[in-house]
């Protein structure tokens, strides 16, 4: 791949990744900064008698099912005129919840009995009849939480339905929207890179591992999907999606190992995968323990990213792929670092989401895909050029650059008649070689070849038949016209005298011409055109004879 093109690809890659991250942040901040005409109920507005609705990670002594209530007055709602109202929930952590207003059920999300649901990364709303609003009201949430509970990012809104569409649009885009895009990008890139693995020759196993990494990353996005009822427990679901995450990281490390052959990548791949299976599969028996270990176990993901950065840096000057990986991994590390800082500052926004990881890994893999094709195409062009040069060398004369006797025979088999042919022979060339040396003889040969190519028509083909003999094919040309062309060459050659050690060396040639009116094999043509050439030599040289004249003698 050309140097300038590769730098343009790197710039495009950096701009793309940064644009996606900025888009992610912008969409979130637009959502957060949007102020609908609504009543906002924060976590502290709800109480269970002992706790509020602030985000909280459960321990084994906590109750899994609690009811949180908030007092709402008619004045708070500021109801004016007719119209329906809605209660909007955004990322309420828990496995299921039921909502009541003044003791009357208005909606539920998830499986409230078993908790076999995944609803935390979602936005839900329920309609509220304004006619049933009293001066003093109670909004209640019966929340089933198996490992964490509470609000993280946004308050609970009670708002007019006319305000609902804009807010729910932002909310859906920031939750299911980004997640669906991440899933689609991961699976698309997985297919593309797997195709590259299949068509690469020899097959590059790095692309197979990157394809698997993208597949498992796509499966991990189900952790962010809204699933109201699952056929198995939440514990099994979490084990599966976390397994997909660590398989993705492990496969990515294996892919990088196959590209750069640094053993640390292989070690991190094995540690990540074995660590998950040993800890999560054999030792984790409840979801609270899993959630606690998962928070610490994610350090392995960060360590893998740091190791990828080190590998990319070590190969930065050696391999073009290293530049792509270094940029992508630095961005992933910065996203992880920003999440740590945001967590310290009490902010819930995260850049280390499947969306960010899928964009980085997918774009790196697809760029590698096209880079591989560019390299293969470049190699194919080099091979084709080599074949062309090899073929050209096999059909041309090394001294003069004219076509050789071998190619002449091929042309005579394919050329369409009628046409004329001429055989030319430099007079007394053996004496010239013996008297003045082979270097002088070669100079005469080259000059003669040059004059032939300069004076024939563009459609005529000149060959070096061998030694001091030359052959010309004149397509769609009579013998008489061919003779006129050759006579012009005789005049040009006579005007250009050769000198050697102050001595003038005259150079002349004799020729024979034969008109081919129907198909004849090459041997027959050579035999017939040689007869007028022999006649020219016999008649005193520096002459051109036609085959018809030879037949009349």
Rounded mean pLDDT for each run of 10 residues along the chain, 553 residues in total:
52 63 66 72 92 90 93 76 77 94 94 92 87 89 94 85 78 76 84 82 83 91 91 92 91 89 92 86 84 80 88 80 75 71 55 67 70 67 76 86 90 90 92 88 91 89 92 93 91 77 83 92 92 90 79 46
Map residue 200 onto helix, strand or coil. Answer: coil
Rounded to an integer, what is the distance from CA 27 to the centroid of its chain? 27
Closest of 293, 296, 301 to residue 335, by C-alpha: 301
Give the other-Cβ count within 10 Å of 266's Cβ.
15
pTM greater than 0.75: no
Please list, in sequence order, all residues whose beta carbon lies within 8 angstroms of the beta carbon of residue 467, skipping any fewer than 6 positions away.
Answer: 429
Please list, in sequence order, all residues whose beta carbon lies within 8 angstroms of the beta carbon of residue 456, skipping any fewer than 6 positions away.
Answer: 462, 472, 474, 485, 489
523 and 489 Cβ atoms separated by less than 8 Å: no
Distances (CA, A) of 390 to 377, 397, 402, 412: 19, 13, 15, 22
What was the pLDDT predicted at 57?
87
235 and 286 Cβ atoms separated by less than 8 Å: yes
What was the pLDDT predicted at 345?
58
What was the pLDDT predicted at 470?
95
C-alpha angle 390/455/423, rounded to 5°?
A: 70
**φ/ψ (deg, to 5) at 256:** -65, -35
Distance separating alpha carbons of residues 206 and 211, to the nearest angstrom: 9
Hey, what domains does the chain have and what are their CATH numbers?
Answer: 3-32+176-380 (1.20.1070), 37-167 (2.60.120.260), 405-552 (3.30.70.270)
**φ/ψ (deg, to 5) at 415:** -70, 145
What was the pLDDT predicted at 425?
93
Distance separating alpha carbons of residues 77 and 61, to the nearest angstrom: 37
Please list, in sequence order, all residues whose beta carbon lies within 8 angstroms of the beta carbon of residue 99, skipping any fewer than 6 positions away.
Answer: 87, 89, 105, 106, 107, 108, 126, 139, 140, 141, 142
Closest of 226, 69, 54, 31 to residue 151, by C-alpha: 54
The DSSP 8-state label assigned to residue 277 in this structure reads I
């Amino acid at each position: 791949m050309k140097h300038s093109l590769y730098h343009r690809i790197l710039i495009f890659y950096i701009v793309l990744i940064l644009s996606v991250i900025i888009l992610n942040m912008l969409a979130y901040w637009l959502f957060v900064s949007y102020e609908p005409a609504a009543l906002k109920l924060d976590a502290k507005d709800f109480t269970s008698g002992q706790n509020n609705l602030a985000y909280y990670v459960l321990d084994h002594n906590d109750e899994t099912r609690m009811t949180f209530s908030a007092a709402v007055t008619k004045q708070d709602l500021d109801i004016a005129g007719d119209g329906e109202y809605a209660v909007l929930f955004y990322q309420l952590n828990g496995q299921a919840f039921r909502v009541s207003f003044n003791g009357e059920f208005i909606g539920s999300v998830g499986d409230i009995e078993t908790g076999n649901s995944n609803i935390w990364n979602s936005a839900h709303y329920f309609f509220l009849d304004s006619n049933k609003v009293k001066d003093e009201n109670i909004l209640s949430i019966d929340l089933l939480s198996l490992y964490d509970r509470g609000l993280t990012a946004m308050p609970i809104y009670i708002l007019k339905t006319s305000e609902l569409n804009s807010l729910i649009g932002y909310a859906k885009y920031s939750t299911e929207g980004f997640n669906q895009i991440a899933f689609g990008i991961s699976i698309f890139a997985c297919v593309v890179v797997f195709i590259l693995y299949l068509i690469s020759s020899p097959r590059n196993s790095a692309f197979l591992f990157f394809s698997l990494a993208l597949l498992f990353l796509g499966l991990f996005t189900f952790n962010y999907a809204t699933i109201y009822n699952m056929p198995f427990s939440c514990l099994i679901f979490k084990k599966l999606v976390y397994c997909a995450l660590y398989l993705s990281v492990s496969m990515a490390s294996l892919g990088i190992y196959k590209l750069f052959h640094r053993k640390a990548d292989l070690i991190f791949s094995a540690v990540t995968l074995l660590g998950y299976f040993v800890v999560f599969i054999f030792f984790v028996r409840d979801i609270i323990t899993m959630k606690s270990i998962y928070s610490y176990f994610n350090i392995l993901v960060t360590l893998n990213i740091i190791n990828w950065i080190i590998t990319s840096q070590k190969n930065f000057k050696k391999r073009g792929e290293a530049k792509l990986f270094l940029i992508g991994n630095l961005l992933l590390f910065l996203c992880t670092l920003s999440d740590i800082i945001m967590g310290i500052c009490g902010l819930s926004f995260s850049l280390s989401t499947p969306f960010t990881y899928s964009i980085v890994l997918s774009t790196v893999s697809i760029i590698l895909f096209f880079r591989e094709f560019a390299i293969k195409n470049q190699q194919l062009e080099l091979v084709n050029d080599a074949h062309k040069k090899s073929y050209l060398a096999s059909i041309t004369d090394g001294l003069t650059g004219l076509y050789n006797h071998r190619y002449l025979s091929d042309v005579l088999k394919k050329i369409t008649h009628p046409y004329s042919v001429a055989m030319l022979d430099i007079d007394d060339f053996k004496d010239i070689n013996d008297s003045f040396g082979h270097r002088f003889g070669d100079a005469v040969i080259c000059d003669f070849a040059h004059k032939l190519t300069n004076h024939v028509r563009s459609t005529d083909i000149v060959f070096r038949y061998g030694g001091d003999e030359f052959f010309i094919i004149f397509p769609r040309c009579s013998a008489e016209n061919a003779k006129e062309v050759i006579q012009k060459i005789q005049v040009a050659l006579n005007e250009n005298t050769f000198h050697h050690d102050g001595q003038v060396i005259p150079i002349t040639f004799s020729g024979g011409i034969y008109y081919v009116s129907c198909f004849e094999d090459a041997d027959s043509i050579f035999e017939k055109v040689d007869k007028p050439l022999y006649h020219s030599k016999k008649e005193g040289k520096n002459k051109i004879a036609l085959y018809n004249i030879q037949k009349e003698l």
